[in-house]
Amino acid sequence: MNRPHPVHPLHRPHRPRPLHRRRAAALVTGALLIAGTALAAPASAAVRAPTPLVVNARWGGHCTYDRLVIDLQGYVPPAAVTSVPELVYDGSGKPVPLAGSHFLSIRLHPAAGHDDAGRDVYRGPRLQSLSLSKLKGIALTGDHEGYVTFGAAFDTPPASTTFVLHAPERLVVDFPHPATC
């Protein structure tokens, strides 16, 4: 005689879940997918601050330092001040005609010297020889692809200190020298 095999309590036959549980699981899964998609959105979809505009450059001589001030609209972006063997115009690579034997490149990014329509907003000097104690010349050497670059000329190797001032927004670069006052 064949007897039915007893069912072990841990091996129950599969029974379909009630409809309300399946709907709840589908809703939770959908919500997780939507949240994951929103978190994985590219950075370009995020709201960005407008590119800061470089509007002027000015300088002054003081008893123990010469100062270069770059005026901006918006905010002051990160700036890299690096020693270079010569000054050249960005893009063309043509030499910048400033006298000096030591040069610094001051590069701001992101930044622009023109508005979205391509009109210049930079009103400062493009090329200026100077006779300060340390700083001998300044030039706007580039304004394209989100970079604005200045070149500074010196007769002796320069040291520099960079800081930011607000209201209005300014990048300040000081070049120390022996006291002249």
What are the pLDDT digits (tens) for 98-128? 999 999 999 999 999 999 999 999 999 999 9
Average pLDDT value over all residues in the chain: 86
- pLDDT, tens digit (0-9, with 9 covering 90-100), for 65-108: 999 999 999 999 999 999 999 999 998 999 999 999 999 999 99
Six-digit token string for 29: 């899964």
Query: Token digits for 72?
Result: 């901006």
What dihedral do alpha carbons 122, 124, 129, 131 form, nearest 10°?
A: -140
**Joined tokens for residue 79:** 């700036």
**pLDDT band, very low/low/confident/very high, at 42 (cuts 50, 70, 90):** low
Tokens of 149: 């670059």
Counting residues of the chain whose pLDDT is more than 70, the rounded percentage is 74
CA distance 144 to 71: 18
Assign 7 a pLDDT band (cuts: 50, 70, 90): low
pLDDT above 90: percentage of residues in the chain:
72
3-class DSSP string for the chain: CCCCCCCCCCCCCCCCCCHHHHHHHHHHHHHHHHHHHHHCCCHHHCCCCCCCEEEEEEEEECCCEEEEEEEEECCCCCEEEEEECCCECCCCCCECCCCCCEEEEEEECCCECECCCCCECCCCCCEEECCCCCEEEEEEEEEECCEEEEEEEECCCCCCEEEEECCCEEEEEEEECCCCC
pLDDT of residue 45: 45
Q: How far apart are CA 93 and CA 161, in angstroms?
A: 27
Compute, in degrees rounded to 10, the torsion defined by CA atoms 73, 77, 81, 87: -60
